[in-house]
Structure formats: C-alpha cells, structure tokens
Structure 1
Amino acid sequence: MKLSPLQALVLIVVLVGIVYGTYSATMDQLPDLTGTVVGNTTNVANSTNQTIGTIYIHDETNSTSNMSVIITKNTKIYKESKDSKQVECKMNQLVRGSKVEVYTLGDPTNTIPPQVTAEKIVIKKSNK
C-alpha cells in the first residue's frame, strides 16, 4: 500500500495528536511536590477565609528551601494504606516526618518560604 504525500501528512498529524493527547492526560497524574513534612499550623476557619491550615515541607526536588503548602476547605487529603490504596483522611494525619506528595493549584509565590495552595495531598505509607 503506497500513501500519497497528503495521506502521509495526515497520518503523521494524527499520530502526533495521539502522542500529545497521551502526554497531556498522564502529566496531570504526577505530583508537583514530593517531600517530608517539617512542621504545620492550623487556623480557625471562618466564612471569609478558606484556609484551614498550612504544612511546611522539605521539597526533595528543591534542596535550597522549604515550601509552605496552604490547605483549604477544598483540599483533598489522602493516606496511602498498606495495599497502596488512597483513603481520605483529615489534616491531623499530616504529622512531622510524614512523606507526602502534593498536587498544587497554580504556581508558588516569590516569598520566603515559597507558598502554594494544595489541591490534593497524599500521605505516603511508611516503609517500616
């Protein structure tokens, strides 16, 4: 089967589209930050403030500083069970020394420490 130049071009465009679509679909599944919780704070939530607390993590991909992760009422927090399933949990499960993966909304601020709002946090199971 011989393809005309136009058919070959269409085939290449379709294949590039498939590759790009697959890349875009799987890119959202990777965490934005991976690190260890080094501290946390909690706030009293009120009607004007959506923030319920903050955790500070040592970002393993950026060894120059810690990151302040803002947790809002909309942030989903999960803990990985022994069989690697994610079970929803509360903020009090985020304790110092926990290994976490953070999926963020937007980019970090240019402050010290950098701040970012979490969409989803996964507490990794301990390797004990």
Structure 2
Amino acid sequence: MKLSPLQTIVFIVILAGIAYGAYSATIDQLPDVSGTVVGNTTVNNSTNPTIGTVYLYDDTNNSSNTSVIIRKNTKIYKEDKNGKQTSVNMSSIKNGCKIDVYTVGDPTNTIPPQVISERIVIKAKK
C-alpha cells in the first residue's frame, strides 16, 4: 500500500496526536502547592463542609504562606519511604511536616491566599 505525500503527513500528525495524548494521560500530576505545615485549625461543626484549615509555608516561593482549606471530601494520604500512600485523617497533619496539595480551582486574591484541597499527601521524612 502506497500513501500519497498528503496521506503520509496526515498519518504522522494522527500518530503524534495519539502519542501526545497517551503521554498526557499517564504522567503523574504535579502538586499545585508544596510546603511545610506551620499551623492548623479544626472546625467541629458537623454541618459545615470544611473540617479544617492548614497553614502552609511555600518552600518553592520562600516568601509566602497559603491557607489550605480541607473539606469532608478531601482525600488525605501519608507516604512512606517507599512511596506507598495510605489513607489517613486530618489529625495526621502536624506542624513541621511536608505536604503536597492538589487543589480545586484557583487561589483567592487574599492575604494569605486560600485554596480548596482535593487531595493532600503527607511526605515521608528523609
């Protein structure tokens, strides 16, 4: 089967699109915010969707803090030294621990900025 030059170009573009799509779908998602926990609060109101807030010192920015809102549907995991993650609750987030936060939406334009967390990973100590 012989392809015309136009068919060859279309075929290459389609293959490149498939390769890029497969790559994009399988790469690990990078966290939106990473840093060290410098404080937290807990909300005890059972009707409130927010169960607490974590104040995070952004290690990559070195000049800002972020308020991370934790809701009832936020998934919290603790990572061991082998990279395996196990599900934990908010009480596992302690001052001084390093966390990665995957957020929903954009940060607010407040000081400090606030983000709503979808998933939090407590990093293993090195």
TM-score by length of 2: 0.89
CA–CA separation in structure 2 for the residues paired with 1:57 and 1:91:
14
Residue of structure 1 equivalent to 2:43: 43
Does 1:10 find its partner at 2:14? no
Residue of structure 1 equivalent to 2:105: 106
Secondary structure at the counterpart of residue 95 of structure 2? coil
- The Cα shift of 1:26 comes to 4.1
> What whole-Å deviation, never above 9, does each CA across 1:4-33 have from its counterpart, x for those lacking one?
222222123213312431343246621111
Alignment of 1:4-83 (within 5 A): 4-26=4-26, 29-47=29-47, 49-83=48-82
CA–CA separation in structure 1 for the residues paired with 2:112 and 2:96:
19
- How many residues of Structure 1 are paired with residues of Structure 2 in the alignment? 126
- The Cα shift of 1:65 comes to 0.9
What is the root-mean-square deviation in Å for CA atoms of aligned residues? 1.8
Q: Give structure 1 stretches of 5+ with no counterpart.
A: none
Which amino acid is 2:75 matched to? Answer: K
CA–CA separation in structure 2 for the residues paired with 1:62 and 1:82:
25
Which amino acid is 2:50 matched to? Answer: T
Secondary structure at the counterpart of residue 67 of structure 1? strand
Secondary structure at the counterpart of residue 17 of structure 1? helix
TM-score by length of 1: 0.88
- The Cα shift of 1:3 comes to 4.0
Q: Give structure 2 stretches of 5+ with no counterpart.
A: none
Which amino acid is 1:115 matched to? Answer: Q
Share of identical aligned residues, percent?
Answer: 63
> What whole-Å deviation, never above 9, does each CA across 1:54-104 have from its counterpart, x for those lacking one?
001111222221010000000000001233210100101100110111111
The answer to which of 8-17 and 117-126 deviates more is 8-17
Secondary structure at the counterpart of residue 18 of structure 2? helix
